[in-house]
A and B are shown apart, each in its own frame.
Chain A
Amino acid sequence: MTQIAISVQNVTKTFNSGDRHFTALNAIDLDIKAGEYLAITGKSGSGKSTLLNMITGIDHPTSGTIKIHNTELGNMNEHQLSRWRGENIGIVFQFFQLIPTLTIGENLLLAMEFVGVIPKKERKERVKALLAKVGIESQTDKMPASLSGGEQQRAAIARALVNDPRIIVADEPTGNLDSENTAAVHNLLQSLAASGKTVVVVTHEVHAETRFDRTLTMSDGKILTT
Chain B
Amino acid sequence: MSMKFIKAIRELQTHPGRTFLAVFALILGIWGAGSVFVSYYILTRDLNQNFQRTLPAHLILESDDFSGLNLREFRQRPEVESAEFRDFSLHRIETYPDVWVPVLLYGVENFESFEIARVFHQEGAIHPPLGSILMERDGKLISDIHTGASPRMRVGSKVVNVPVSGICFDPAQAPATQDHIIYAYTEKDSYAALTGLSVNHRLIIRLKGVSSAKEVKDRADVMIAALGKKGISMTRTSIPLFNEHPHQWQLNTLLFVIGSVGFLAFLMGAVLVSQLMQSIMAGQIRQIGIMKSLGATPFHVFQIYTFMLLIMGLTASLVAVPASVITGVQFSRFVAKILNFDILSVVPVYIYLLLVMAGLLLPLVLSFPLLIRGTKTSVLKAVRDYGISAGISGLNGKFQKITQFPWLTGSFILAVRNSARNSRRLAATIITMSLGVAIFSTGFNVRQSLWNLLTDLENELRYDVQVVLGEKITQEAAMLPFENLVNVKTVQAWSGGSGVIQSDVMATNTTAGIVALPYNTDLLKPRIINGRWLQKSDETEVVLNQQAWQLYNFPEPGADIELTVGDSSAVVRVVGIVEQFDKAKVFMDRAKYDAAFNPAHLVNTLTFAAQNDDYEQVITLKKEIEKAILTSDLDVLYVMTNAGRVRVIYAHLNIILSTILILSFLVLLVSAVGMASTTTINIGERTREIGVMRAIGATPQKIYSLFTNEGMIVSVSSIILGLILAYPLSQAASVFFGRLMLGEQAILRYAFSPWGFGITLMITLLFGWMASRLPAVSAVTKISTREALAYG
Q: How many residue-residue contacts, CB under 8 A, span A and B?
A: 75
> Could you give, for residues 9-30 of chain B, a 1 whenever the CB lies within 8 Å of some chain A CB and a 0 otherwise?
0110110000000000000000
Q: CB < 8 Å: which of B290, B295, B300, B383 contacts A99?
A: B290
Distance to closest chain A CB from B621 (angstroms): 78
Is B492 in contact with chain A by the CB < 8 A criterion? Answer: no
Alpha-carbon gap, A111 to B4, bound state (A): 10
Binding stretch for chain B, among A19-27, A86-94, A179-187: A86-94
| B-chain residues with CB within 8 Å of residue A99 when the two chains form the complex | 7, 287, 290-291
Q: Are B293 and A85 in contact (CB under 8 A)?
A: yes
Binding stretch for chain A, among B374-382, B459-467, B469-477: B374-382
Is A174 in contact with chain B by the CB < 8 A criterion? Answer: no
- Looking at chain A's contact residues, the main secondary structure is helix
Is B696 in contact with chain A by the CB < 8 A criterion? Answer: no
Of all chain A residues, the one with the shortest Cβ separation from B295 is A86
- Max chain A CB contacts within 10 Å: which of B4, B286, B291, B293? B293
Known: A59-B380, A110-B3. A101 touches B295 (CB 8 A): no
Q: Are B295 and A56 in contact (CB under 8 A)?
A: no
Q: Are A111 and B295 in contact (CB under 8 A)?
A: yes
Q: Are B291 and A114 in contact (CB under 8 A)?
A: yes
Is A102 in contact with chain B by the CB < 8 A criterion? Answer: yes
| A-chain residues with CB within 8 Å of residue B10 when the two chains form the complex | 101-102
Is A191 in contact with chain B by the CB < 8 A criterion? Answer: no
> Could you give, for residues 716-731 of chain B, a 1 whenever the CB lies within 8 Å of some chain A CB and a 0 otherwise?
0000000000000000
Of all chain A residues, the one with the shortest Cβ separation from B293 is A91
- Max chain A CB contacts within 10 Å: which of B3, B287, B300, B378? B3
Distance to closest chain A CB from B789 (angstroms): 15
Q: Are A79 and B297 in contact (CB under 8 A)?
A: yes
Q: CB < 8 Å: which of A53, A58, A86, A101 contacts B294?
A: A86
In residues 261-300 of chain B, which contact A (Cβ within 8 Å)? 286-287, 290-298, 300
Alpha-carbon gap, A93 to B286, bound state (A): 12
Distance to closest chain A CB from B97 (angstroms): 74
Q: Are B3 and A79 in contact (CB under 8 A)?
A: no
Alpha-carbon gap, A58 to B300, bound state (A): 18
Distance to closest chain B CB from A158 (angstroms): 12
Distance to closest chain A CB from B296 (angstroms): 4
Is A159 in contact with chain B by the CB < 8 A criterion? Answer: yes
Is B6 in contact with chain A by the CB < 8 A criterion? Answer: yes
Q: Are B295 and A83 in contact (CB under 8 A)?
A: yes
Is B2 in contact with chain A by the CB < 8 A criterion? Answer: yes
Q: Are B296 and A114 in contact (CB under 8 A)?
A: yes
Q: Are B380 and A53 in contact (CB under 8 A)?
A: yes
> Could you give, for residues 384-422 of chain B, a 1 whenever the CB lies within 8 Å of some chain A CB and a 0 otherwise?
000000000000000000000000000000000000000
Q: Are B290 and A58 in contact (CB under 8 A)?
A: no
Alpha-carbon gap, A193 to B383, bound state (A): 26
Alpha-carbon gap, A106 to B290, bound state (A): 14
| B-chain residues with CB within 8 Å of residue A53 when the two chains form the complex | 380
Is A163 in contact with chain B by the CB < 8 A criterion? Answer: yes
Known: A59-B380, A99-B7. A110 touches B297 (CB 8 A): no
Known: A78-B378, A99-B287. A58 touches B3 (CB 8 A): no
> Could you give, for residues 23-64 of chain A, a 1 whenever the CB lies within 8 Å of some chain B CB and a 0 otherwise?
000000000000000000000000000000100101100000
Q: Are A110 and B4 in contact (CB under 8 A)?
A: yes
Q: Are A114 and B295 in contact (CB under 8 A)?
A: yes
Q: Are B4 and A113 in contact (CB under 8 A)?
A: yes
Alpha-carbon gap, A113 to B14, bound state (A): 22
Alpha-carbon gap, A56 to B378, bound state (A): 13
In residues 162-204 of chain A, which contact B (Cβ within 8 Å)? 163
Of all chain B residues, the one with the shortest Cβ separation from A53 is B380
Known: A58-B380, A82-B292. A114 touches B297 (CB 8 A): yes
In residues 97-155 of chain A, which contact B (Cβ within 8 Å)? 97, 99-102, 106, 109-111, 113-115
| B-chain residues with CB within 8 Å of residue A86 when the two chains form the complex | 294-296
Q: Are B6 and A78 in contact (CB under 8 A)?
A: no
| A-chain residues with CB within 8 Å of residue B3 when the two chains form the complex | 102, 106, 109-110, 113
Known: A83-B297, A113-B3, A114-B291. A100 touches B14 (CB 8 A): yes
Q: Are A111 and B294 in contact (CB under 8 A)?
A: yes
Distance to closest chain A CB from B427 (angstroms): 26
Alpha-carbon gap, A215 to B123, bound state (A): 100
Of all chain B residues, the one with the shortest Cβ separation from A165 is B295
Alpha-carbon gap, A102 to B286, bound state (A): 15
| A-chain residues with CB within 8 Å of residue B14 when the two chains form the complex | 100-101
| B-chain residues with CB within 8 Å of residue A111 when the two chains form the complex | 294-295
> Could you give, for residues 66-84 of chain A, a 1 whenever the CB lies within 8 Å of some chain B CB and a 0 otherwise?
0000000000001100110
Distance to closest chain A CB from B401 (angstroms): 22
| B-chain residues with CB within 8 Å of residue A82 when the two chains form the complex | 292, 295-298
| B-chain residues with CB within 8 Å of residue A159 when the two chains form the complex | 294
| B-chain residues with CB within 8 Å of residue A102 when the two chains form the complex | 3, 6-7, 10
Distance to closest chain B CB from A68 (angstroms): 14
Known: A110-B3, A163-B295. A101 touches B383 (CB 8 A): no
Q: Are B7 and A114 in contact (CB under 8 A)?
A: no
Of all chain B residues, the one with the shortest Cβ separation from A80 is B297
Alpha-carbon gap, A114 to B291, bound state (A): 8
- Max chain A CB contacts within 10 Å: which of B7, B10, B295, B379? B295
Alpha-carbon gap, A113 to B10, bound state (A): 17
Known: A106-B3, A113-B4. A101 touches B13 (CB 8 A): yes
Distance to closest chain B CB from A46 (angstroms): 18
| A-chain residues with CB within 8 Å of residue B290 when the two chains form the complex | 93, 97, 99
Q: Are B291 and A110 in contact (CB under 8 A)?
A: yes
Q: Are B380 and A110 in contact (CB under 8 A)?
A: no
Alpha-carbon gap, A114 to B292, bound state (A): 9
Q: Are A58 and B293 in contact (CB under 8 A)?
A: yes
| A-chain residues with CB within 8 Å of residue B383 when the two chains form the complex | 58, 93, 97
Alpha-carbon gap, A91 to B294, bound state (A): 7
| B-chain residues with CB within 8 Å of residue A79 when the two chains form the complex | 297-298
Alpha-carbon gap, A86 to B4, bound state (A): 16
Distance to closest chain A CB from B289 (angstroms): 8
- Max chain B CB contacts within 10 Å: which of A82, A99, A106, A109? A82
| A-chain residues with CB within 8 Å of residue B376 when the two chains form the complex | 78
Distance to closest chain B CB from A81 (angstroms): 8
Binding site for B on A (CB under 8 A): 53, 56, 58-59, 78-79, 82-83, 85-87, 91, 93, 97, 99-102, 106, 109-111, 113-115, 159, 163
Supply 26 A–B pairs (Cβ within 8 Å), ascending by A: A56-B379, A58-B378, A58-B383, A78-B376, A78-B378, A83-B295, A85-B293, A85-B294, A85-B295, A86-B294, A91-B293, A97-B293, A99-B287, A101-B7, A101-B10, A101-B14, A102-B3, A102-B6, A106-B6, A106-B7, A109-B3, A110-B7, A113-B2, A113-B3, A115-B294, A163-B295
The 6 closest A-B pairs by CB, nearest first: A86-B295, A101-B10, A110-B3, A115-B295, A111-B294, A114-B295
Binding site for A on B (CB under 8 A): 2-4, 6-7, 10-11, 13-14, 286-287, 290-298, 300, 376, 378-380, 383
Give me 7 other A-B pairs in contact (C-beta within 8 A), A82-B292, A100-B14, A111-B295 excluded. A53-B380, A56-B293, A86-B295, A101-B10, A113-B3, A114-B297, A159-B294
